[in-house]
Chains A and B, each alone.
Chain A
Amino acid sequence: MLLHATAHTTLPTASLQLNSLLNLVVLLPLAGALVLGLGTLYNAQNKTGISERVVTAIGCAGPLLATVLAFLLFLPMMGDPSRVWHSPLLTWMDIGSFKIELGLVMDHLSGIMLLMITFIGTLIHLFSASYMQGDRSFSRYFAYLNLFLGSMLLLILSDNMIGLFMGWEGVGVCSYLLIGFWFEDAAKAGAGTKAFLLNRVGDLGFILGIFLLFQETGAFDFAGIQAHIGQTSAERLPLIAFLLLVGALGKSAQIPLHVWLPDAMAGPTPVSALIHAATMVTAGVYLVARLHFVYTATPSVAWLIILIGGLTALMAASIALVQNDIKKVLAYSTVSQLGYMFMGVGAGAYAAGIFHVFTHAFFKAALFLGAGAIIHALHHEQDLRKMGGLRSKLPITHLAMLVSCLAIAGIPPFAGFFSKDEILWSLWEKGHFVFWGMGLLTAGLTAFYMFRLYFLAFGGTYRGEHEAHPEPLLMKLPLGLLGLGAVTVGFLGMPATLGLPNWFVHWLAPLYGEHHASDPAAQGLSLILMAASVLVAGAGILLALKRFGKITGEVPALPENALTALLNEKFGFDSLYQTAVVGPIMAAGRFCRQVAEPVMIDGLIRAGIWGYYAFSLCLRTLQFGQLRAYAHYLIFGLFILAYVYFVLHLPGVFQL
């Protein structure tokens, strides 16, 4: 049973209310990006450019104001749940039945995403101001970051596929720019290219899906698509759903397009926090949740989503076990958590999926920023084996990371517990027992590797060479707020099966409906399942404590066997792609470069151009400047035309 029996249809259009403040939310960060972009150009030309202080002020002003606006827009929605803000932007094209109207909409789904993205985005901007201090390209960094935020807001606020796609591509570009931010390092630039190319694969599917969806429904806007989804052909719809899913897989780093995300750690750490944990990568989940009516109508593709999500979750969690780079551990944990979210939305528990997006954004941002603070304190040391004993040196970071680790491990009452359990419960409830098992196993692995990270970084004694210096205030503030979020936001979605108020599901009810009233049997079952997942998580933590709790000397090396080899190889995806895709393409490229282009294409064109030139020169000689000749041409032309004319229409004239 994948279908949501009570899923509502579109919101009544009467509740749409115009509000042009919405435009401002998107435009503010974009304006910041423009100003800072020009500032960067100015800096490049002048030795004494704009100071970091000014850049920070400009760069943080846009996100901050956008956050304030987001709250101002959100509060009236809480007062009147039927209210949805809408702001039509422009008619881009209007040719016959092909009409593209761009607009922004803030409904319950995009509203909650908006709050999360602006709030976390602002905190990360603040953190960056401290983290990036002294970087040569300080203003360029903030320009990109603002551009990213603006694109992301366009993505979630668009009321149509075209606007969403623009935002989608915008975040893709920013991701590329920020991963390869230190582009002098070839490896880092390569990581950016890899992310970009893999996203292109997904985007190809995505844009084909958009076109097919338009062909079937004749609409680009979500309301129109939803209204016409019933009329689409049964053979086409699964294909469309699959193509759109390919786009989502690329952006959200799911199997088989997941390999870019771990490499994306080449970018500055706050970027990893913002883009590769809290916001951009959740776009795929958002897309599925936004187009829930498509996936509700295609159970086979929905099942595929769960399968991919489950496999990704389990695989990434197992790879994370053997990673020694602090950021890589977090990267794989992100991939794994995204798998959870996919399982949730695939199972039709859209609210649960989005809820996990929401809570995950807080604790993952906190984890990444914590990692950033550590890396900052240890002079760019990222190897877990050279850390340890940082508890006393970085107290705020320690606290924020501890609660976040507890949250991601799923220990009540921290945020991750509620959202993860909501997903696991949905899987069980809908009969996906195998996937529930995979989720549970992943939860155990997650608890283990997260606390392995925690103990290696904070437990035992310090094993590094550099003297750690304490985190500055501008880092403490975001870390504290995000840590607070990791503790508290879970309470927004307490399990309804236990009769507790689930505000989150209730909030998204206009889109997805409010399912199940609690019955006593479910209550008991849900308690048992919860206990099971907490126990598994607890076991993971205890195991980590036992092995890594008090390391004073060398960190013990991993046993060398087939399993660790496989994990170190990351299940061989990279080498497979290298031999199966990159190799042939490079060979084809070399062939084009050495044979096809110079001989076949250039030769042909050059011959054509040469002929063109020669012909032109010949004709030119006719125009040698003599007036008499010109007059002859005139008369000659007249005769030719007259001849053609009379032969065609008045042949009798020649017989006279």
Chain B
Amino acid sequence: MDKLLPFLPVSLPVLFGLIVLLLGVFLPLKQRYLLPHVSLVGVAFVALSAIAAYKAVAPNGEILGGYLILDTYSLFFSLLLSVATFITMLSASFYLERDGLVKAEFLALLFFCLSGMLLLASSRDLITLFVALEIVSMSVYVLVGYDRDNLKANEGAFKYFLLGSMASALLLYGIALLYGSVASTRLYQIHSYFSTHAHEPLAAMGLLLVLVGLAFKVAAVPFHTWSPDAYEGASMPVTGFMATAVKAAVFALLIRVLGEGFISLKTYWVEVVAILAVLTMLGGNILAYTQRNIKRMLAYSSIAHTGYLLTGITALALQPGNEAVSALLYYLLIYVLSSLGIFAALTWLSSQNESLVQISDLAGLGKKYPLTALGLALLFFSFIGIPPLGGFFAKYYLFLTVLKAHQLFLVGVAVLASILSIVYYLKIVMVMYMEPLAEHWEAPRIRPVSLGAVLGCCSFAVFWAGFAPVNFLNVFPGLLPLLEWLQYTSLI
């Protein structure tokens, strides 16, 4: 059992996925409403198994001779991804019911995706990472186009799939070139090879292709083109899932690959990441402004956040120590929590039909549902980075580490981009509070307490993170280096 425990977090979701599939076939029609409940329990078990596995192999954490590692980093992501999946399943059950879609496959796909994401968080080998990334991508392609009768969903899924395949090909090609140069796909062997060997064109091309492949997956400008279409086509819970869990998982991969495998090549990729960061921050924020569709706007906003995170990755390279990693994790945490809250609320609001697509559909929400509007406003304020909300501290810590890496220009652009973001985030708040309810407005069909609770919890967490940042940092694994650094830094 002890030998098997470390593999539990990755294999349990597969098992639950299969169980859900079987239940979907054999359970009588009347009992199928139980499927989401079973799934939610399953995700909780996955999270628990992640903690148990971490405890079982601590403190070293390496298993399979270093192919996989269960450290605080992977534990952080395992828990974050489980939470995001949990909330996605919760909102998805309402959406599936409304559109009369089959539940079992949807939930099973989420489980398979979760398995891939957990593998991403703990793998240390390029091939394993590639396989994990493909598991995630395949599941998400299908999830985006899950509603087969919906033209937009088909379009989004198809675009995503084709472009994604292209990016995967680039990524795989890059891995092949690297293998040709290093003769290994293990991250730490790549690292040790390049710390003794000179940089060579073959490996350089491989590194660049890997970077571009990953940049596509996190939707960095100019490789972002798929994301607004895919976000728009997908149903609200899936859009939320892509914006939170999938994005976090790919960042888990990106930070691991760049920070562990390619750290000895850091001087070579820092400029590339910096260019991507600048393009992404500016592109995301500028394009978000003219969007009228709320999902597309959130897609661009999520691209903008990718840009901020990429600046943090340059700090990861230029500044020794773990605080840049911690600052990135903290930013991801706040970003994921805020997005989850927003998407939970939007899922509920669009539960009558998918008509809630335009920002103007939110008009009058402040009067009609004051608590929901308040929670949403709080989360958007956090996105902007208004103190004392969590988003402010997330940005502050992240930019601080970038500043410490002497990337003054990047911080300047990031601050400018944050200022630009005020315009479109505040527009939503303004629409909610200052415009009267639209005439054709239809009240949501249901009023699930659970989604309200999700919004409430997320808003509270963001508030708490801002009001007692120290307290908050203490709670989450993997954030301790940031806390320690903050306590000894002289920059404050």
List the interface of chain A (C-beta within 8 A of B): 90-96, 98, 609, 612-613, 615-617, 619-620, 623, 625, 627, 629-631, 633-634, 636-638, 641-642, 644-646, 648-650, 653
Contacts and interface: CB of A to CB of B under 8 A. Distances in A.
Contacts of B223: 633-634, 637
A360 to B, nearest CB: 39
A644 B288 CA distance: 28
Given A623-B228, A650-B204, A638 B212 contact: yes
Interface string B256-285: 000000000001100110011000000100
Given A612-B289, A641-B212, A653-B201, 8 more contacts: A92-B468, A95-B487, A613-B289, A616-B290, A630-B159, A630-B225, A631-B166, A649-B267
Nearest to B229: A625
Contacts of A630: 159, 163, 225-226
Interface string B109-138: 000000000000000000000000000000
B208 interface: yes
Contacts of B405: none
The interface centre, meaning the residue of A96, A615, A636, A653 with most chain B CB atoms within 10 A of its CB, is A96
A94 B276 CA distance: 35
A630 B275 CA distance: 19
A650 B275 contact: no
B222 A649 contact: no
B225 A95 contact: no
A634 B489 contact: no
Contact of A634 (B211, B222, B490): B222
Nearest to A629: B225
Contact of B199 (A90, A627, A629, A650): A650
Contacts of A620: 287, 290
Contacts of A612: 286, 289, 420, 423
B167 interface: yes
B225 A623 contact: yes
Interface in B181-204: 199, 201, 204
B162 interface: yes
Contacts of B492: 95-96, 98
Contacts, number: 99
A641 B216 contact: no
A641 B286 contact: no
Nearest to B287: A619
Interface in B268-320: 268, 271-272, 275-276, 283, 286-290
A94 B216 contact: no
B170 interface: yes
A644 B278 CA distance: 15
A645 B468 CA distance: 43
Given A94-B470, A616-B287, A645-B272, A637 B212 contact: yes
A96 B489 contact: yes
Contacts of A613: 289-290
B190 to A, nearest CB: 17
Contacts of B162: 627, 631
B204 A645 contact: yes
B18 interface: no
B26 interface: no
Contacts of A634: 163, 166-167, 212, 216, 222-223, 225
A92 B276 CA distance: 38
B480 interface: no
A-B CB proximity, top 7 nearest:
A630-B225, A637-B222, A616-B290, A616-B289, A633-B222, A616-B286, A94-B470
9 contacts: A98-B492, A613-B289, A615-B286, A616-B288, A633-B223, A634-B163, A637-B212, A644-B275, A649-B204
The interface centre, meaning the residue of B272, B489, B490 with most chain A CB atoms within 10 A of its CB, is B272
B470 A93 contact: yes
A612 B420 CA distance: 8
A630 B469 CA distance: 41
Contact of B423 (A96, A609, A636): A609
Nearest to B265: A649
B5 interface: no
Interface residues of B, number: 45
Given A617-B290, A636-B222, A644-B275, A627 B163 contact: yes
B170 A641 contact: no
B57 interface: no
Contacts of B199: 649-650
Nearest to A609: B423
B369 interface: no
Contact of B487 (A96, A617, A623, A631): A96
Contacts of B423: 609, 612
B44 interface: no
A631 B159 CA distance: 10
B35 interface: no
A619 B488 CA distance: 44
Given A625-B229, A641-B208, A642-B208, A648 B289 contact: no
A94 B222 contact: no
B212 A649 contact: no
Nearest to B271: A648
A47 B223 CA distance: 60
Contact of A645 (B159, B271, B288, B489): B271
Nearest to B200: A650
A636 B166 CA distance: 13
The interface centre, meaning the residue of A90, A613, A627, A637 with most chain B CB atoms within 10 A of its CB, is A637
Contacts of A644: 271-272, 275
B292 to A, nearest CB: 11
Contacts of A650: 199, 201, 204
Interface in B47-76: none
Contacts of A90: 468
A646 B290 contact: no
Interface in B411-457: 420, 423
B486 interface: yes
Interface string B15-47: 000000000000000000000000000000000
Nearest to A648: B271
A646 B287 contact: no
B272 A623 contact: no
A544 B492 CA distance: 64
Contacts of A616: 286-290
Contact of A96 (B226, B469, B490): B490
Contact of A627 (B159, B222, B271): B159
Contacts of A96: 486-490, 492
Contacts of B468: 90, 92
A575 to B, nearest CB: 42
Contacts of B170: 638
B439 to A, nearest CB: 26
Contacts of A629: 225
Interface in B153-182: 158-159, 162-163, 166-167, 170
Nearest to B471: A91
Nearest to B207: A645
A637 to B, nearest CB: 4
Contacts of A633: 222-223, 225
A182 to B, nearest CB: 29
Contacts of A642: 205, 208
A92 B469 CA distance: 9
Nearest to B470: A94
Given A631-B163, A641-B272, A646 B286 contact: no
Contacts of A609: 423
A616 B424 CA distance: 12
A620 to B, nearest CB: 5
B162 to A, nearest CB: 6
A571 B204 CA distance: 83
Nearest to A94: B470
Given A93-B470, A617-B290, A631-B166, A649 B226 contact: no
A163 to B, nearest CB: 16
The interface centre, meaning the residue of A636, A638, A642 with most chain B CB atoms within 10 A of its CB, is A638
A493 to B, nearest CB: 44
